[in-house]
Each structure stands twice: as structure tokens, then as C-alpha cells.
Amino acid sequence: MADYDFLFPNLCCIPSSKIQKIFALLKYLYFIIAAIEIIAEAIPSPNLRFFTKSLLMPLLIATYSQSLSGQWNRFHRLIVAALVFSWFGDLALLWVPGNETDRLLMRTHKDANYFLVGLASFLIAHLLYCLAFIRVNDATAPMLLKSKPVYFAPLLIYMLVLLGLLLPAMLASPLNKPFIAPVIIYAIAIGMMVLFALNRYRRVNDMSFVLVATGACLFTLSDSIIAVNKFLYPFALSGVLIMLLYAAGQYFIAWGCLAQFNKEG
């Protein structure tokens, strides 16, 4: 119980067994909120999205922290910090207008510049993930990037094709030209995040590798759809796909990181 006293001082009198049950429920609440968020994207319901999207990362942070049972280290702090900056990114993107008539959220004016704020927040999140992913269990094992660099060719091709599609469309739009440099930088960062995730192969246990690599790829697909929808080809239900991939990706990354230290997710 001491691990949570500074966050939940009013819970000090509740038996520790009940506290553990409360936190165990948070994991299932994450899935429930994620499902409601996806429904809110499909309807769509901006006000409902405001609450569900705002709750996702705090719930994942709480469940991740609870699963550590006080066994914090630098690796886990980096992961939690990445989730915190992801939350900042989620909040910022809520205030990005979807179209010319989409001007208000919770009586507050939306602004296209919040896209850059969200981009910067997620950029920091990806860099923090990179710093965490280089912390492996077996540092003496050969790195896949050095021994089999050809395995990373599909990732490089994917990022180049994506940018090859996006940049001409962005150059053709005066409104989107200011986003070109940030998008390129962000694409490099997320590509590095996936690369570092894949480079953990045989340097962590198989469960951790598969979960984190899967999560990183899902996160990349989610971000790719955001870019395509915003700069290239807006399409119906893009928000549903984005949030489905994002919620699953973040969950797989978090629990893959716990699995690295044999923590049950």
C-alpha cells in the first residue's frame, strides 16, 4: 500500500487486498473505455470522445504502475513517461478541427496548430520508447540490426513509400506546407521506435519481443492512417481504425515491457 500512499492518501485505511482488486479492475476498464471510444468515433460523438480519449492513457498508466508492485527502475520510468506524453498528444489532437465547420469542443475553440502540439508530444513519446527499448536483458546477444540489417528493409520501404505519397500532396496545399518538416521528423522518430523494438529480438524473452514489436507496428499503422486521412485522402471511419490500432498498440507495448521482467499483464 505504501507504493500508492502519495497518489491516493485517502485510501490508506482500505485493506491492501481490496486496493489490489481495485487496481486489477483498471485493466478491464481500459478495454471498456477503449471500446466506448471507438463507438464514439463511429457515431461520431465529439463530447463522448473527449471523456473516453482523455481517460485511456491514465488508465493504462495506472494498470502498468499497479502491475509493477513497487518494482520501479529506469526502464519502467521511461515507459510511463512515454505514456504520459502520449496522453498529452491525445489531448492536443482532440482540439484539431476535422473540417471547416468543426470549430468548438467543450465550448473551447479548436485550432489546427494543436496538430503540431500533438505531433511534438508523440515525438517525445517515441524517443522515450527508443531509450527504453535499448535496455535489454541480454546485452551480449548480437543485435539484429547489425547481424541481419536486410530484415529492416521492409520498414524502410514502408516509410519511404508513405512519405512519397504524403509529401507531394502536402506540397500542393499551402495550408499543409508548414507541416512538411515536422511530419518528416516524426516519420523518422516512429521508424526508429519500430526499429528499436525489432532490435530487441533474442535480447529479451520471446513474449516481450512479440508483444512490443506488435504494439510498435500497430502504433505506426495508426499514425500512418492519421497522416493519410489528414494530408492525402480523408475517408469515413478513419477515426475508428486509428483508435483501434492505437489502443491495442499502446496496450501491447506496455504489457510487452512488463513481460520483459516476467510481470504478468
217 part of a folded domain: yes
pLDDT at 23: 63
Tell me the Cα Rg of the chain. Answer: 19
105 part of a folded domain: yes
104, β-bridge pairs:
109
215 Cβ contact list (under 8 Å, min separation 6): 197, 248, 249, 250, 251, 252, 253, 254, 256
Task: Tell which residue, 123, 132, 235, has the closest CA to residue 182.
Answer: 123
pLDDT at 14: 46
**Cell matching residue 70:** 513497487
Task: Tell which residue, 82, 58, 67, 93, has the closest CA to residue 196.
Answer: 82
**Cell matching residue 13:** 485505511
pLDDT at 197: 97
**Cell matching residue 255:** 504489457
186 part of a folded domain: yes
pLDDT at 16: 53
127 Cβ contact list (under 8 Å, min separation 6): 189, 192, 193
Ordered per-residue pLDDT tens for the chain, 265 residues: 444 444 444 444 445 555 566 666 878 899 999 999 999 999 988 889 999 999 999 999 999 998 887 788 999 999 999 999 999 999 999 988 876 676 767 777 888 889 999 999 999 999 999 999 999 988 888 888 888 888 899 999 999 999 999 999 999 999 899 999 999 999 999 999 999 999 999 999 999 999 999 999 999 999 999 999 999 998 888 999 999 999 999 999 999 999 998 644 4
264 part of a folded domain: no
**Cell matching residue 181:** 518538416
Task: Give the range of the structural domain holding residue 230, as residue numbers without chain letter.
Answer: 2-259
117 part of a folded domain: yes
265 part of a folded domain: no
pTM for this model (two decimals): 0.88
Q: What are phi and psi of 86, to 5 degrees?
A: -65, -40
What is the tally of structural domains in the chain?
A: 1
C-alpha to C-alpha distance for 218 and 228, rounded to whole angstroms: 15
